[in-house]
Structure 1
Amino acid sequence: MTVLAGREDAVVKAYVDGKSARRLAHEFGVGDQTIRRLLEARGVTRRRGQPAGCRTEPAEAPPTDASVSALSLTELAYIAGLIDGEGCLLIYRKRDPRGGLHFRCILRVSNTSQRVIEWLQLRLGGGAQAGQPPQPNHLRVFHWRCEGPRMAALLVAVRPFLVIKPELADLLLAMQRTLTYSASGLRLPPDVAAERELIFAQYQVERREMKGR
């Protein structure tokens, strides 16, 4: 594991002492998956049930949505394949004129089959649109977009079926949980602001590492 060469023992000790996988990934400048592979290779039992690197509060009930609940296991597995293959799990960060930071989580699936995109919209709502007119010898691409509570419920439902992008799904879910403050108009606590920055930094690392997989 060349990216952690010489630092493996320090990572394992810090994890056993109580630091989360995500916090260690941030501190050592690697992706979550790198830390998890190391822990598995060393036979370390991973802690479950709490988003890594996030505040230690009682676990929230998973988000629910009627449209997502109506999907069969076969449909969930199919959607997971679409997300792994043609999906984008996106976290946007934008600074307003007053210096405030705003985050937005979006799940997007692109496909050259209009029927696939129409099926997603029929089953889950969201937005659908056709891409720009294609170049010669290229097919037109169609896009489907989902965000907010329905996106979170869908990611929770398809998470067991994801092969390529489970870590990105976890990061979007962690960020989406912090966005309840924005929706409710509550004043953003400093620890939540710091958590958002940590999640976004890890998201950037994970996106970079995915290019080499």
Structure 2
Amino acid sequence: MGCEPRRFDLTMLYAAYSAFRRDTARIEAAADAAEGADAGGAPAAAAVANTWSLFRFHWRVQDNTEKSALWTVMYAKDADAPGRLGIVLDSMAFRTLKVVPLIDAVDAALEHRDRLMFAQYARELRTSVDALLAFKESEVLPLISESLTAFEWGTFDVEFRRELGLRGLGVFLPWLLDDAPEATRRAVLHLLPPPIRLFYRTSWRPRYQRRSRLAVPAC
């Protein structure tokens, strides 16, 4: 009794990682389409800017909350006797640091309207993000239930909602579920109270869909 492994619902984490993959794929596809072409026009530029701003904002929120409420707490568990947990988290941190300058580079390319630079760094960003998220899913997320208490895991959800804010939730939820498989959509909505599900269906999702979107599919 008392030795059973804890099981936490990581649905939102997996859904967020899928959304990040979707956005970097869209950005890369837009960069490939723009490379070597004449000016793409205001609608295409607005769509790229919209997708990029959403990715960058949610990446920052996710990264900040994971660091403060998950990884820092997990590091502390390993502080007295560094072992597998610290090694895995160090490896994840190294992969995370590789993403930071690529986000800055894509920012600079968009600011200066440099299509060749945009194409180069969009590809590198997608590769680095894919590598980081795959590592998290295979090596880091399984350690959450082994190392955190139910209270500590619950703190992550509280911190995430605080960082996002209520207005931010109205953008986050439709962004998260954009093009998500039906099973993922049902699983995510099942975690939310009925009023939030109603706001999502009647207000947040329609508003999100009216915003300019990339015309190129994720691949």
**TM-score tier (shorter):** under 0.3
- The structure in which a higher percent of residues are strand is 1
RCO higher in 1 or 2 (8 Å CA, sep ≥ 6)?
Answer: 2
TM-score scaled by length of structure 2 = 0.27
- The structure in which a higher percent of residues are helix is 2
